[in-house]
Amino acid sequence: MTGPSRGLPHPLLEAHGRAVSATSASTATSTSTSTEDCAPRGRRRRQSGALERRLSHVTDVEEASRLVECSQIQRQLHFQQLVRRYMSQILYGCTNAHCTTTTCLSCKRRLPSRPFRAPTQLTARALAHFLASQDDPHAGLCPNQPNVSASALEIEGVDGIAITREEGRKETICNVYPVVRPLFHTSISGPEAPNSSTAGAHHIQPVRERTGKALKEERTNPVWAALDTRHQAKKDVRSLGQNLYDTVAVIYSYSKQIPSALSVFSSLRALHSPRPNDTRNHDSRSPSVNGLSTDTSKPDPLGHANGHAVLPHVNGNPTPGHVTSKNLPRSNMSRHRSSSQNMSQEILRNGRRIHRIHHQPEHVPNGQAVLKSQDTGAFGDGNRERLLAHSPKMKQKPLSLVQNGAPKIDPTNVTPLSARQDEGKATPSESSRTSSESSGRPVLPVASYLDCQIMDQLKDEVYHHRNQQSSDFNFVVDYDTNARFRPAKPFVNRSIFFTLSDPDTLLQSFYSPDNGAYQTSPLPHLDSTRLAHTFRDWNRRNGALIFDSLWIAVKALFVPPPELDVQKSPRLKAALRSPSLTGTTPDPPATPKSEEASGRFISDEEAAHIVMICVHALTSLVPVGWPHSWVQVRKFRSWGIILPDAPPHTDFTDGFADPVLSTIDELEYEPALRLADRLVRGIGARLCFEEILVNLGHQKKDNRFFQRCCPGLIPTLVGHLIEVERIAVENKRRMKTKLNYDEDPGWTVTATFMEWLRTIVIKKWDGKAEVNRWTSVGAAIRILQEFYDNRELLNLRTSMFHMPYINEHIDNVDEPMKFLERNRTINTFHLLEYPFLFTSRDLVAHFRTMNFTRMYKEFEQTDRAVHLQREMDPFLREPYWWLIRSRLKVTFTDYFVLDIRRKHALEDTLNQLWGQEKRLLMKPLKVKMGQQEGEVGLDQGGVTYEFFRVVMSDAFDPDKGMFTIDPSTRMTWFHPATVEPARKFEMLGILFSLAVYNGITLPVTFPLCFYNYLLHGPPQALMVTNDIRDGWPELAKSLDQMISWEDGDVGDVFMRSYTFSYDAFGANVDFDILGYWHPRYTEDGVLEPHEPPMVTNANRKEFVQNYIYWLTTGSVLPQLDAFRNGFLTCLHPTSLELFEPSSLRALIEGSQEVSISALKAVTHYEEGYNATHATIVDFWSVVETYSNDDRKKLLEFVTASDRVPVTGFETMSFSIVRNGGESDMLPTSSTCFGKLMLPQYADKEKLRTKLGLAIQNCKGFGVV
């Protein structure tokens, strides 16, 4: 599925997105800053820090990884390193002469498939950005030492981050945004005095507007010179890709210098901390970051690319020279010397050298600890997540999520998360904390936890106009800097990221202890009704921040249980290592000795808490819209279509946007898609952990994992969603909203989350019918299966699960046969194992493909045997051929032929079926009907239908004593007191199997419990009255009345004994149910007779369950077993997994409702007739007056079947042929071809009379 996207497809690409839009971002920064400084000072004072002073649970951010700015910088830096590493291996190769990495230059030189041509800078740039933006960006990295260091691609002096102090405010505001100072001429507007209200505001003039001397001076700038050398000399000016990747913005994105997030964090705390002797006349420049000047008033001195001399071009590529200590900048020389002193070398057996560098943390001015980097990418499994994700670990288990409510949190006594560290540990940021304590307020304040009320308060902390927005927000939070106004304040963004990105803090948030409506839910502390409104409209305030934050927190789902950590193989751990960004293989991580080192395993209840928060964030993003608009959205997206072909709507002057477009836009929002994908993969990882432990032999009773995880993650989610939908329906009823359960439910939490799951399936599916069970696609389908099983409780419709897109992209001939022949594996499944994804028509097509393919194999085998016989005729004499033909009679037979007399149809059929080989039954069926009695019908399909109609009507005749028919519903059922042997029922089962195998619709009517037995055998669970309502509605109604009776004891009112009653050829028989289950014997071993007890209020539920069992199974068990054995004769048991009881009944019985409008739409006309002919108009006017029984007779007269097949009228052949002019002949038909021969009668009444006589007397084949 492809469509419009408002963001880049991967979190690491955000750095690239910012670089491409650096020019517009910097311009907007200048304008916003200058406008803000010109705003009234009183307004700024009233808005500054209002909420953070009112909240009592405000804490200080003391870890760089918990600050949103540092997290974004870390992602920029990681993506830049990936691009540089790829460019280095593409352009310069590695030191290994036997490299096998396909994108490495060394490999290409060694294995050239054509004359070698070195890649250009432009090619390397485009390929590097593509590889770095994949789901697993480290997969293509070369593991060997590169020839040229990736840092050589950096241009010294080009700062990627600028941190300044704005003056003229009561509180210090810092700017964190990417700048391209060498590309602009920056001048300070207004007076230069520090006391000026416009101090620190810069007017930036774009380069394209400057000409003459100013432009010439800038072109002589060393940065311009370095950038010019990296441009492609020759390129296709009409190529969008070449022009894009050769722009200054793209080159700048991987060439700029980005400081570490820890350095930015230290600088932010230093800027926010009050300084001694702070006056209005201090210097406006901020301290340096990582040795890079952060003063934006003048450009830094520039040199060559990262201090390396540039050699002459080799194949059009500038090659950095050899890096020595002389070439290094002064700021890097000490670093180079220290690293060389702490480096040791080890030579392995295979000759590979490993350089080990003993890391020593650098001195940080404020004493901060080394930064724990954030998650840097979404990977395929939980193991890779653990190796690459180094975000803050979950220190300890939070307050447990108990069933009777959540712990009450006192907002006035909330301890910051950083204070939970051991007392013996050195706490970070001592100097900054001291300064914050002395000032009485946090340096970087955030809310320590969130709930619905706090989130609603944070929604109000916005800038109401761009002129009021601080330049502190210019650090891009969204993926599109020009999307729309993002008015959230810095305190809001930092608080949301602080809470939603940390699993421990998220587990302590969104508690509603007094939540009475959800007391029966597995998650009683979550008020999903309020959460659905709490997360709404946040993307208009801070863009993708909520989705990016939750994306980080979802990593907790990938932590395996401690039982699995013991089982992990050391070889597996080594195999999961990925190449480092410097080109060397990293050392294996130290074995975690505690939960704090590796992240603790959370229970399924805690995991469900995190998942439900993510679900509400995803579903609240999508607008509610209109119910009919959701019907269109679901229909189009099920086919993989985002926008249908329609003329574009370009007039938006009225400010109105179609709800369909708004819904589609949000479902295609890239940050939300990334969160949904990782969330589903996390659920799949949890399912994988549970499956592994089951296979390892862990039992629930003595395993802590099962004690913590029971009843399971998905059942917990489904149970909570059932309560969510129940409360939503009750609220609609309370508001007297009209509910129609046959229509689309519109926007609901479950239905919208289901739409996200379907989007993940369509976008991430690789087009193969074999799906990995633990990937996002496999996990999404398994969640959909749980939703489908509980669709009534979740207020979902069956049609909402159909995805024709899948059926259109698989092989409809080969895949059904592969499904039959495949061996089940634990790690994969076939899409046909989940039939709810397919429409009923698609399932029938796959089922018949399986049967016809098997039938064709038998027919093909016969054809080969006949061909061999012809080849052997000249060499064998007749006596030998007679023996061969007698032994190979079945092999040489093309069809399975039944020669039946109409008057003895059932007897002849059972006799001819008895004792036949199975391979003969697998051949195509041909029937000779009544030929011994003078009929001349030739079987081209119509005779077969007539044969089954006659045989079934004879077999199900109640006078035969094998079946009974309910007088009200006309349902057929087995006779409990039959005297017929079981083999007859087995023969009837074979007859059913032959009909289904050959694609024949049968004129029978059975209840659903019959088809449930055919599919699954004896029922495994207790049956309820709904299971018999379609077959015995009056009985089900009386049993329901007995269960719900409250006016006294049912024993005094109903006077019912604990027996099962049935009619046996006119005699009423009462079967003692309790006597059968609990027989009583005398001392001599003789069965002791006793009177059955009465049904009372105490045992009425048990009686109803036992009565239904004996009605549907116990009393007719021998007949059911024999019939089921015969039914499975021609059908592969695996092929029946495509059906449910209702769909199997539709396949066998078809539909008894004949729609004249639908029949009229598929009718063809021949021999001069057409839809407007007078005779045809009279014909349809007569037929429309028929009752449903007469319509069935007309259908049977033309097609030999009175049922509409499960595939509908579209697959039927119904034609009206002109049979001469005015005549007294009756209409005739050719049932094999579905043709009605209708004479051109003079008037309508004559047509009515003749047609009525024909359809009422339509038995037999011959000439009239």
d(CA 831, CA 778): 9
Q: Which two tokens stand for residue 816?
A: 């059904």
Q: What is the CATH architecture assignment of 1025-1112? A: 2-Layer Sandwich (3.30)
611: exposed, middle or buried (C-beta count within 10 Å: 0-12, 13-18, 19+)?
buried
d(CA 697, CA 883): 58
Residue 881 Cα distances to 632, 860, 867, angstroms: 67, 21, 14
Element containing residue 174 per DSSP (H, E): strand 173-177
d(CA 548, CA 661): 24
d(CA 1069, CA 1064): 7
Contact 158, 256 (CB under 8 A): yes
CATH superfamily of 848-1018+1127-1149: Hect, E3 ligase catalytic domains (3.90.1750.10)
Element containing residue 627 per DSSP (H, E): helix 627-638
User: What is the pLDDT, as a whole number, of residue 996?
Assistant: 93
Domain ranges in the chain?
15-38+68-191+199-273+295-328, 848-1018+1127-1149, 1025-1112, 1156-1256
Q: What ranges make up the beta strands (E) of 322-453?
A: 343-347, 353-357, 445-447
Whole-prediction pTM value? 0.78
**What Rg value do the Cα atoms of the chain yield, rounded?**
39
671: exposed, middle or buried (C-beta count within 10 Å: 0-12, 13-18, 19+)?
buried
Q: Which residues contact 666 (CB under 8 A, 6 or more apart)?
A: 539, 621, 622, 623, 672
Report the candidate in 530, 527, 466, 459 with the shortest Cα–Cα distance to residue 493. Answer: 459
d(CA 986, CA 315): 81
Q: Which residues contact 47 (CB under 8 A, 6 or more apart)?
A: 463, 468, 489
Task: Say which residue the tokens 């039927």 belong to.
Answer: 1212
Q: Note the maximum CA span of the chain.
A: 124
Q: What DSSP designation does 569 have?
A: -
Contact 537, 418 (CB under 8 A): no
Chunked into runs of 10 residues, the chain (1264 residues) has average pLDDT values of: 37 35 35 36 42 81 88 89 94 91 89 80 92 89 93 81 54 45 37 33 37 55 79 81 86 87 84 52 39 37 32 35 36 38 46 43 38 38 37 40 35 34 38 48 86 88 58 47 59 91 93 84 92 88 88 93 68 46 41 47 93 96 86 90 61 59 88 95 93 75 43 90 93 75 85 95 94 94 95 93 94 93 91 94 93 90 85 75 78 86 87 88 86 64 82 88 87 90 92 92 91 90 86 90 88 85 82 75 70 88 90 92 94 93 92 87 87 88 89 85 82 84 83 83 87 77 44
Q: What DSSP designation does 962 have?
A: S
**Other C-beta atoms lying within 10 Å of the C-beta of residue 765:** 23
Q: Which two tokens stand for residue 624?
A: 């509610």
Q: Which two tokens stand for residue 996?
A: 């289904």
- Active-site option among 99, 142, 1232, 1258: 1232
164 forms bridges with which residues in the sheet?
Answer: 175
- Three-state secondary structure of 239-305: CHHHHHHCCHHHHHHHHCECCCHHHHHHHHHHHHCCCCCCCCCCCCCCCCECCECCCCCCCCCCCCH
Give the tens place of pLDDT for each residue, 903-925. Answer: 888 888 988 888 888 889 999 89
Contact 106, 93 (CB under 8 A): yes
310 forms bridges with which residues in the sheet?
Answer: 320
User: What is the pLDDT, as a whole number, of residue 221?
Assistant: 72
Cβ-count burial 637-654 (b if 16+ within 10 Å, e if not): bbebebeeeeeeeeeeee
Report the candidate in 948, 947, 1009 with the shortest Cα–Cα distance to residue 974. Answer: 1009
Q: Which residues contact 993 (CB under 8 A, 6 or more apart)?
A: 921, 1126, 1127, 1128, 1129, 1130, 1131
Give the tens place of pLDDT for each residue, 421-462. Answer: 333 333 334 444 444 444 557 788 889 999 999 998 888 877
Report the candidate in 638, 612, 551, 550 with the shortest Cα–Cα distance to residue 750. Answer: 612
Reply yes or no on whether 1232 is catalytic.
yes
The amino acid at residue 1132 is: H
Report the candidate in 1228, 1249, 1229, 1239 with the shortest Cα–Cα distance to residue 1176. Answer: 1239
Q: What DSSP designation does 327 have?
A: T
CATH superfamily of 1156-1256: Hect, E3 ligase catalytic domain (3.30.2410.10)
The values of phi and psi at residue 59, to 5°, are -125, 175
User: What is the pLDDT, as a whole number, of residue 1057?
Assistant: 87
**Other C-beta atoms lying within 10 Å of the C-beta of residue 1235:** 20
The values of phi and psi at residue 109, to 5°, are -70, -35
3-state secondary structure of 405: strand
User: What is the pLDDT, as a whole number, of residue 674?
Assistant: 93
Length of the chain: 1264
End-to-end CA separation in angstroms for the chain: 59
d(CA 4, CA 1054): 66
Residue 885 Cα distances to 881, 918, 1183, 1263, angstroms: 6, 19, 54, 38
3-state secondary structure of 696: coil
